[in-house]
Amino acid sequence: MQNIRNIAIIAHVDHGKTTLVDKIIHATSVFRDNQESGDLIMDNNDLERERGITILSKNISVMYHGTKINVIDTPGHADFGGEVERVLKMADGVLLLVDAFEGPMPQTRFVLQKALELGLRPVVVINKVDKPNCRPDEVHDKVFDLFYNLDATEAQLDFPTFYGSSKQGWFNTSLEQTEDIFPLLDGILEHVPAPEAKEGPLRMQIVSLDFSSFLGRIAIGKVIQGSVSESEWIGLAQEDGKIVKGKVKELYVFEGLGKKKVTEVKAGDICAIVGFDKFQIGDSFVDLENPQPLPRTAIDEPTLNMTFSINNSPFFGKDGKFVTSNHLKERLMRELEKNLALRVEPTEDANTFLVFGRGILHLSVLIETMRREGYEMTIGQPQVILKEIDGVKCEPYESMVVDVPEEFASKVIDLATQRKGDLHIMETKGEMQHLEFEIPSRGLIGLRSQMLTATAGEAIMAHRFVDYKPFKGAIPGRSVGVLISKSQGPATEYSIAKLQDRGKFFVDPGEEIYAGMVIGEQNKPNDMVVNIVEAKQLNNIRAAGKDKDGNIAPKILFSLEECMEYIQGDEAIEVTPNFIRMRKKVLSEEERKRIERGAKA
């Protein structure tokens, strides 16, 4: 067992995890010399490559000096903490990657805390020492303080540190540049303990799953005790305590970027088992004669919820393949199997489901994935989950860190305090101001886009969930109203030009719109219904092209997350494979007025 090492790479978003994994893959010659590989090898789905973040944890294995190193690449964003919490169970050590300029960030703290609680042995890697203004020694001291604050053990506090640059492909125990990353790989062999080879009946927990159209569902996990062989009859211990008997049809271990078929896997190695269909993440494979299931992973509670319902706009079914409530329900149930931090509850309306998640990004990635698969749906405004603790109404709070140029610091503080945020730390980092706030999760919804506007796009913002604390009262929402379409049809240049002084538009001339759709932002606080499908009436004197108005401002383009943060309680988002449209929940103007009168009465 001495020749296996299981390591997880953890870090804040954008600190260079996936680039480091690329360098490990290249340094250990996983690819042939003439084989094309490209960059960000592990971020292999389209959404990860587009956003430049890791969303799903992945396994690879490399051989170095006769030792097999199983590497687990984990997400860095706290919204995907559910992924991190379960896959860390496969590791015996962690590589904590920290940016030499930014130092430990909120999500560094989040994933490190989970690793230390599991008793994993840390190796600290200070990355990007080639950046200007970097401060590796100061960052090293901050990492030590972070370990101390997280109640690390004496052994964990005695962590080895490596310095270098993933991009340039070198790491060393000092700041002296080397030719390659072999000093880091030597450090992994030296400092990360080999997995314990526990004798006894089989114990293996399923922490991840895969699917193959040939093999069906594949269970992935680390064999904690005993061994498992191909064609062996074993038990699957489920959540309700039942043990289901089944046969191991095929058995795989990870090799390079793929899997290799084997006949037996012993304790300490990570493997994939084929042969069981009805399993969930958290279930255990056990010996039939002496079953000893492993305790299930406790996942942090979700903090946000949103309604997912069928698309009921006039453009229903024009764009997507999956449009019914049954399609929606089946897809959400399928997501629950692998997305542990997600929860789905039915509502009184059979066409609507309440979906709970870790944050805006967590839910938007699910919506974006479903939309690309051909689903149409209507999404409601994100709401934070309130709890009653000891008779007191409480809400989730987050720690928010903002790095911003000094001249914009006062604007950031003003925006955060308007949303009930308290400033705890203010210090100078090079040319930047480093600000730390404690703020209700409600206050974060819509804050990022406001902050980027106020700081000319210079603010770098990150946050993580802290705890539930007493409710802080009303938080001001959107300060302006919206422009709502009065009728259905293509938007005309003539009508948009006439209404330019009323606000900014979200649609271009020629775009198909419908009554009740949000088509722009009003300059004033109230909503306004406008007709932008009206065409110019031409008579026999005027020439058709004479009055073309070329002074129309370009439309404001919103991403899915920006739409989720922008809408109010009476609004929704229509999501289809090719369009994202904001709309009023009640499309009819008369109906909206009737509801308003009823609310006042």
Binding site members for GTP: 14-19, 127-130
Contact between 463 and 398 under an 8 Å Cβ cutoff? The reply is yes
Q: At what angle do helices 106-117 and 136-149 cross, to 10 degrees?
A: 50
User: Cα–Cα distance between 239 and 258 in angstroms, integer?
Assistant: 30
- Residue whose pair of structure tokens reads 């240049």 in the numeric block: 493
User: Cα–Cα distance between 101 and 118 in angstroms, integer?
Assistant: 28
Binding residues: 14-19, 127-130
Number of CB atoms found within 10 A of residue 360's CB: 22
Question: What three-state secondary structure class fits 255?
Answer: strand
User: Cα–Cα distance between 32 and 143 in angstroms, integer?
Assistant: 38
* Burial of 292 from C-beta contacts in 10 A (0-12 / 13-18 / 19+): middle
Q: What's the Cα-to-Cα distance from 330 to each of 309, 337, 342, 354, 482, rounded to whole Å?
A: 13, 11, 15, 14, 35
Burial 297-327 (b: 16+ CB within 10 A, else e): bebeebbbbbbbbbbebebeeebbebbebeb
Residue type at position 12: H
Structure tokens at 152: 């690390």
- Residue whose pair of structure tokens reads 């004033």 in the numeric block: 524
Strand partners, 309: 352, 378
